[in-house]
Amino acid sequence: MNEGMNKWYVDAGPDSDVVISSRVRLARNFDAYPFPQRSLPEHQHKVIEETCDALFSGNPKLKDNFSLVRLKDISLTDRQVLVEKHLISKELAESNLETAALISGDEQVSIMFNEEDHLRLQCLASGMQMEKAFDICNYLDNLIADKVDYAFNDTLGYLTSCPTNVGTAIRVSVMLHLPALTMTGYIRTILESCGKLGLAVRGLYGENTEAYGDMYQLSNQVTLGKSENDIVMSIKNISYQIIEQERLLRTELLNKNRNKIEDRIMRSYGVLRFARNLSSDEALQKLSDLRLGINMGLIGELSETDVSEMVIRKRYRPRFIYKKTY
């Protein structure tokens, strides 16, 4: 993969004090073949081949930007790295079908082949940039649709393996860093109201994971009966309400308990710098404090993107922090 290329997370993006990243995912299936679980290996190969052809024939520049990774060709460790970078799902890494992923050099875009659906197009962007992520997905989707007949029905929209994705087959999500809401316990009320509004709240690594390091992923559940734009806008609106709450609380915490907050943050910074053994849970919690400290202007020598990079690339070993600060 293009290791030298700047990755998407080196820019902080808008509203980066609270919003870590935005993500849009489209699920698509070929009409010609049964969905992956019921398809034959030759169908699965065709899906990969025909998609690459649709995207790259007559578009050599695009081709240079992507690398095709066949999961069977790489080690378990390498698959794990792709999962941690959110470029492929755990399910894809563990699948025994002919799976592959097209990954862009900046690691912003990935297309998963033969996961639950034939195609899963995903785009990540730093901070609050859902529209940007959607535009990129949309562009690639149109390129493919020019050459491939999708499983699509006028009434039901895009047909997917799981009925929960039918319709727009879009999943819009935003990763929020909510330490103040978590610390004060207000987060519970917020999570409950999100549930009532039809939004799913998950931890850092998607479905069925806990909220490590005060990071919460908000995403839409309903995909049928709303346009893509409506879905993006509703997630965005709700996110901004939560973001405002988090900001207010941070200011209040700092005004009322400056000593306590500063102490907590600097302790965490100390642990990250000098500890020799950290479990990933502990590291994520300390990194959460560190990120808060950077936002509050307590730690000038590091930036939010340094923390994002450490979380995403799992490089939170003390040595890395040394390297960043000296």
Q: Which of residues 128-157 bind other proteins (CB under 8 A)?
A: 138, 142, 145-146, 149-157
For residue 295, the minimal CB distance to other proteins (Å) is 26
For residue 121, the minimal CB distance to other proteins (Å) is 13
Helix (H) or strand (E) holding 152: strand 152-153
Q: Which is nearer to other proteins, 8 or 134 (CB)?
A: 134
Q: Which of residues 29-48 bind other proteins (CB under 8 A)?
A: 29, 31, 33-35, 37-38
Site string for other proteins, 212-241 (x = CB under 8 A): ----------xxxxxxx-x-----------
Residues for the chain: how many in total? Answer: 326
For residue 288, the minimal CB distance to other proteins (Å) is 18
Spatial separation of the C-alpha atoms in residues 23 and 40, rounded to whole Å = 31
Q: Does 162 bind other proteins (CB under 8 A)?
A: yes
For residue 225, the minimal CB distance to other proteins (Å) is 3
Q: Which of residues 169-188 bind other proteins (CB under 8 A)?
A: 170, 188
Binding residues for other proteins, how many (CB under 8 A)? 46
Closest CA to 135 of 221, 24, 37: 24
Angle between helix 228-256 and 187-196 (nearest 10): 170
Give me 234's structure tokens.
């509703």
Asked if 271 contacts 286 with a C-beta cutoff of 8 angstroms, the reply is yes
Q: Does 163 bind other proteins (CB under 8 A)?
A: yes
Stretch that binds other proteins, among 3-11, 121-129, 165-173, 176-184 (CB under 8 A): 165-173
Q: Give Cα 179 distance to the centre of its chain.
A: 19
Q: Does 248 bind other proteins (CB under 8 A)?
A: no
Closest CA to 199 of 178, 181, 220: 220
Q: Which of residues 274-303 bind other proteins (CB under 8 A)?
A: none
Q: Which is nearer to other proteins, 207 or 301 (CB)?
A: 207
Q: Which is nearer to other proteins, 3 or 154 (CB)?
A: 154
Asked if 231 contacts 130 with a C-beta cutoff of 8 angstroms, the reply is no
Asked if 72 contacts 98 with a C-beta cutoff of 8 angstroms, the reply is yes
Q: Does 73 bind other proteins (CB under 8 A)?
A: no
Spatial separation of the C-alpha atoms in residues 212 and 283, rounded to whole Å = 10
For residue 61, the minimal CB distance to other proteins (Å) is 21
Q: Give Cα 95 distance to the centre of its chain.
A: 20
The burial class, CB within 10 Å (0-12 / 13-18 / 19+), for 48 is buried
Asked if 278 contacts 268 with a C-beta cutoff of 8 angstroms, the reply is no
Q: Give Cα 210 distance to the centre of its chain.
A: 15
Cα radius of gyration (the chain):
21
Q: Which is nearer to other proteins, 9 or 134 (CB)?
A: 134
For residue 169, the minimal CB distance to other proteins (Å) is 9
For residue 191, the minimal CB distance to other proteins (Å) is 8
Q: Which is nearer to other proteins, 12 or 224 (CB)?
A: 224
Q: Which of residues 91-110 bind other proteins (CB under 8 A)?
A: none
Closest CA to 171 of 122, 138, 205: 122
Q: Which is nearer to other proteins, 192 or 301 (CB)?
A: 192
Contact residues toward other proteins (CB under 8 A) are: 29, 31, 33-35, 37-38, 116, 138, 142, 145-146, 149-164, 166-168, 170, 188, 191, 195, 207-208, 210, 222-228, 230
